[in-house]
Structures are given as C-alpha cells and as structure tokens.
C-alpha cells in the first residue's frame, strides 16, 4: 500500500483499536491455487507475539485452509471508513479553482504468518469469544449453551481455525491532511451533513489539531 508521510498511521495501539472496532477483515492469501480473498471476522489478541495475533475460523468446505500451509505469509485488510470528497466542499476551490475530487479512507493492513488450527478446542474458544463480544450489545445475548450440545458439537466439526501472528502493521489515514485547515473543515462539515460522520469527524479533528 502506498502511504505518503502525511497519511501514515504508525501507532500500533491505534491500529489495534481499529481492528477491534472493525473486526470484519479481508484475508488475502497466495496459495497453491493462486491469489484468493476471504471476508471473515477476526479476534485480536494483542497480548500474544510482538504485534498481536489474529484468530478466526472458516468453513471446512472453504478450500483456503488447505490451499495455504502453516507458515505462509498472508495479509488481512481492515477498513474503518471511507467517503468521496467533492472539490466543491473546499473553500479554496471557489477562490482559486485548483482542487479535484478525492476519496478519503482509514485502513489497517496486518501482515503475518498463518497457522492452520484444525483443533476443536481452539475453534470452540474462538467461536465462544467472538460470540461473547458481538452479542454483548443485545438485550438478551445469545450463548453457545443456548443450543443443544450435540448441535453445537456438529457445527464446530464443520469449521477450521486460523491463527495469524502479526509481523507487520501498516496504517493509512487519508483525511486530506495535505490541505489547509479551512479546506479540511469545509469538507468535514459537508460530509457530516450528508451522514458520513466517521470520515467527517476525523477530518474535523485534523483541522482542530492544526490550530492548536
């Protein structure tokens, strides 16, 4: 990923927070059958390894777990938000007519080594933790014990675990930081007015940082 210096987000803790908040990642592999991409939810364990470990699971019928080998390098892409930015939202455009459209976004790329975990205990733990996290906001959170044991056991046999030790994290926060503060604020306000709060708020925060 091309990352100009003004769009670089190098802080591990910020990228870990992005992954936790937006855990649905795109796993990119290059195995025996060539390039592949799978879209799956991940659990981040920041306590393991030098930069954290990602845990997930896929259907046993999904060929990805057999197409790659433990130790292969993979990439997982996590996207927090994105939005189109019109040049008409920059105040300077109306003075100098020297702005063009762009697309702003916030992403994290996690590179790592994959390990295939065809292990019932590992898979059960991943499913239980993912369920606990993502059911937490429900009025009556669903638990694995809500279903018959034999039913859950059968489903667990139909999935395979994946473990990825992160070796490198690359973050990009493209928020028009190469523009003047007034242009950042103009575009940020326009995005929020259209309902794009994530990128709009982030651009306004950049503008605020300029004047401190």
In the chain, the number of structural domains is 1
- Round to whole Å and give the CA distance between 180 and 40: 38
Q: What is the C-alpha separation between 68 and 34, in angstroms, rounded?
A: 10
Q: Would the pLDDT of 212 be above 70?
A: no
Does residue 92 have a pLDDT over 90? no
Per-residue model confidence as pLDDT tens digits over 26-54: 999 999 999 999 999 999 999 999 999 99
pLDDT digits (tens, 9 = 90+) for 12-25: 999 999 999 999 99
Q: Give domain status of residue 200, yes or no.
A: no
| DSSP 8-state secondary structure symbol assigned to residue 23 | -
Element (H, E) at 55: strand 53-59
pLDDT of 72 over the 70 cut: yes
Q: Which of 77, 1, 82, 80 is nearest to 40 (CA)?
A: 77
Instruction: Tell me which residue range forms the domain holding 71.
Output: 5-87+98-178
Average of per-residue pLDDT across 169-174:
98
**What is the domain-level CATH number for residue 29?**
2.30.110.10
Residue 195 is assigned to a structural domain of this protein: no
- Answer yes or no: is 191 within a domain: no
70 near 115, Cβ under 8 Å?
yes
Lowest mean pLDDT among 97-101, 137-141, 183-187: 97-101
């Amino acid at each position: 990923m091309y990352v100009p210096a003004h769009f670089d987000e190098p802080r591990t803790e910020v990228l870990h927070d992005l992954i936790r908040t937006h855990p649905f990642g795109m796993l990119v592999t290059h195995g025996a059958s060539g390039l592949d991409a799978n879209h799956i939810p991940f659990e981040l364990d920041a306590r393991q390894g030098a930069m954290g470990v990602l845990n997930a699971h896929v259907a046993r019928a999904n060929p990805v777990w057999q197409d790659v080998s433990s130790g292969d390098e993979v990439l997982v892409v996590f996207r927090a938000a994105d939005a189109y930015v019109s040049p008409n939202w920059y105040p300077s455009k109306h003075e100098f007519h020297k702005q063009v459209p762009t697309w702003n976004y916030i992403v994290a790329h996690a590179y790592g080594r994959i390990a295939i975990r065809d292990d019932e205990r590992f898979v059960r733990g991943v499913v239980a933790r993912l369920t606990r996290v993502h059911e937490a906001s429900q009025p009556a959170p669903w638990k694995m014990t809500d279903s018959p044991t034999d039913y859950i056991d059968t489903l667990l046999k139909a999935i395979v675990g994946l473990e990825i030790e992160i070796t490198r994290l690359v973050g990009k926060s493209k928020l028009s930081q190469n523009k003047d503060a007034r242009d950042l604020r103009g575009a940020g306000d326009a995005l929020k007015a259209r309902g794009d709060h994530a990128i709009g708020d982030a651009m306004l925060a950049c503008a605020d940082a300029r004047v401190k």
